[in-house]
Structure 1
Amino acid sequence: MRKVTKLIIDTDPGIDDAMAIFYAAAAPDIALLGLTSIFGNVTVETATRNALRLLEAAGVDAPVAAGAHTPLAMPPFKPSSHVHGDAGFGDIPAATPKGKQIGETAAEFLCRMAREHKGELVVCPIGPLTNIAQALQLDPDFATNVDRIVLMGGSYREGGNITPHAEANIYHDPHAAEIVFASDAQVEMVGLDVTHQILCTAQDFEAIAQAAPKLGGMLQDMSHFYLKFYASVGKFEGCSLHDPAAVIACTHPDLFDGHRVKISVSCAGETIGATLDAGDKRPASLVYTSVASKKVKDLFLERLASLA
């Protein structure tokens, strides 16, 4: 039996964020201690609302802390409405959740939870890394108080998805990503090298909806917009399982394989946002480059089906 992982997801929901959060809600080996919101797919205000809405839909009683509005050193980016819709959930209209965010900022909440669960807390950022960088700046012990930081972002050999060089989450705050990769934290990178190997099709979303009509149906309703975007860029086979793969790696690292690499992040020029082999004295991160894609996808579908 796997141990229960104490988890905080740092998120910019986002359709694949919703998939990841519902997976965490369904997973018996995850204790979801909270969500922190970040700009990215949507504004941080919308991300906070969406995080609250997703927890309420899944019946999870956990706090949500609002995070950074803008990157550390760059101007703000426009939300990815062409990918995730204006409200973040495709064509599903915005809804007001009953709950409210807590008074702490995301960085304050992350630091406090890392102290309270020292050596046990896994943080899974699935958006830009601004909140994580701010937590590292706020508390020098944050890096060693957390067990692992398992992030969805970056690319080692695959190339980028927002530029030829950069993956979107890293691109949207490369300075924050550089702080995270240079820290003493145990960082694991679930990048495009593995997420591009796992696809979720329209038939998969239909099966989830049939097995779990409420939450699966919600994901299927979101998926129409998302799959249409993928088709518009020539990817007709389905959508990549980006954010859920990172959450699955938090509890099932045995389904992934990779290398220890000293990662640096390009913060200027044509390659801005690229995750590169630094070759210097900084700590090495675990960079996943291969995955048991069928097992990861089957686990995702199995857990989502249990939400009925």
Structure 2
Amino acid sequence: MPVFADVDTGVDDAMALVYLLASSDANLVGIASTGGNVDVDQVCRNNLGLLELCGATAIPVSRGADQPLSAAMRTAEDTHGPAGLGYAELPLHQRELTGYDSAEAWVRAAHAMPGELIGLVTGPLTNLALAVRDEPNLPSLLRRLVIMGGSFDYRGNTTPVSEWNISVDPEAAAEVFDAWGRAADAKVIQQHQLPIVCGLNLTENIMLTPTLLSRLAAASGATTTAMSVLDSRGTRSTADNTLIRTLEDAMRFYFEFHFDQGEGFLAHLHDPLAAAVALDPSLVQTRAATVDVELTGTLTRGMTIADWSHRWGRESNAHVGVGVDPAAFFDRFIERVGPFARRLQADR
């Protein structure tokens, strides 16, 4: 299945890209870079370095917009590290970005594979909003769209009510949901073409622990030392597999951040779940709803609202994720990424 990924590559975006590269049923045809976890130029460097690490240097990477549509840019180095990937260091590369921006990359990919392309967004929705401005028919050109964003009947992780990706560029998110809503009203898209939205209410069930990381290392055949909350901050991975070592170094920073937040020595894999759902929507249970984004509330800007009761009288414009089996997800993640890491190491 052809997949186009729009990412703001921090730690969990990197894990999502690795999952797609490790999946035999996925053909990653392009990557759009957007600022979010780190600035857009660092996101580009992370994407190119990650593809170098994974031996996937033919995949085109595009640079996205410098800023959200109307808000000031914010980044999250406290969560993902100064360069976005925690303590991990990516290999040097000689790759160049495409000569066109991320919005055009969306449109090109959709026109090249109409009705086939799967869109995945795990960062702010700026690039996709700009793409829909350029090509209003984009909703009908995609086979499906999966968005990691929002929080439904659940707390936020940026403000009390807003999730990071949406809060960085609420106007872009509102434009995207409106575009798919208008397409639904006009009956030019089918139900399966409505976005599948993986919000915090879903993704915070996907908790990676040191035990699960050890399972991943074992599946790759790597020898490593299990992480512990008792380790010194910034302890580097001892894994003898390059990809596993990189992922462990990235995840340690993420674990430490979550620990400091009082959530335990673990990490929520928001973006890898969305990547898995892009390939197999049956991994989650969803409810159709009309979704909109609050733009002007003093306390609620960036909040995602699902009209479960149809009080707005508008067509549903999304399938909101409401249930997931974390064990099933982690089994699939490990059974794909572990052997992939083993193959990469054998090829070095």
**TM-score normalised by structure 2 residue count:** 0.84
Q: Is the 8 A contact 1:210 1:217 kept in 2?
A: no
CA distance in 2, matches of 1:266, 1:88: 28
Structure 1: tracts of 5 or more residues without a match: none
Residues 11-160 of structure 1: pairs in structure 2 closer than 5 A: 11-60=7-56, 61-77=58-74, 79-93=75-89, 96-160=92-156
Q: Say how many residue pairs are matched.
A: 303
Equivalent position of 2:277 in the other structure: 249
Change in 2 beyond 3 A, CA 1:282/1:137: farther
Distance 1:207 1:217 in 2: 14
Find the counterpart in structure 1 of residue 198 from structure 2.
190
**Residue 275 (structure 1) aligned to one of 288, 304, 327:** 304
Residue in structure 1 matched with residue 235 of structure 2 by the alignment: none
Give the whole-Å Cα distance in 2 for the aligned partners of 1:6 and 1:186.
Answer: 18
**1:230 lines up with 2:263 in the alignment:** no
Q: TM-score, normalised by structure 1?
A: 0.95
Secondary structure, counterpart of 1:306 in structure 2 = helix
The 2-side partners of 1:119 and 1:195 are apart by 27
Q: Is the 8 A contact 1:245 1:296 kept in 2?
A: yes
SS in 1 for 2:29: strand
Q: In the alignment, is the contact (CA less than 8 A) between 1:205 and 1:219 conserved in 2?
A: no
Which moves more between the two structures, 230-239 or 22-31?
230-239
Local SS of the residue matching 1:262: strand
How far is the alpha carbon of 1:207 from its aligned partner?
A: 3.1
Tell me the C-alpha RMSD between the 2 structures: 1.4
The Cα shift of 1:94 comes to 6.3
Q: Is the 8 A contact 2:110 2:138 kept in 1?
A: yes
Q: After the TM superposition, which segments of 4 or more aligned residues of structure 1 sit over 3 Å from their partners?
A: 93-96, 209-212
- Gaps spanning 5+ residues in structure 2: where? 181-192, 221-240, 343-348
CA distance in 2 between partners of 1:221 and 1:210 (Å): 16
Over alpha carbons, which structure has the higher Rg? 2
- C-alpha distance in 1, partners of 2:295/2:257? 28
CA distance in 2, matches of 1:235, 1:283: 34
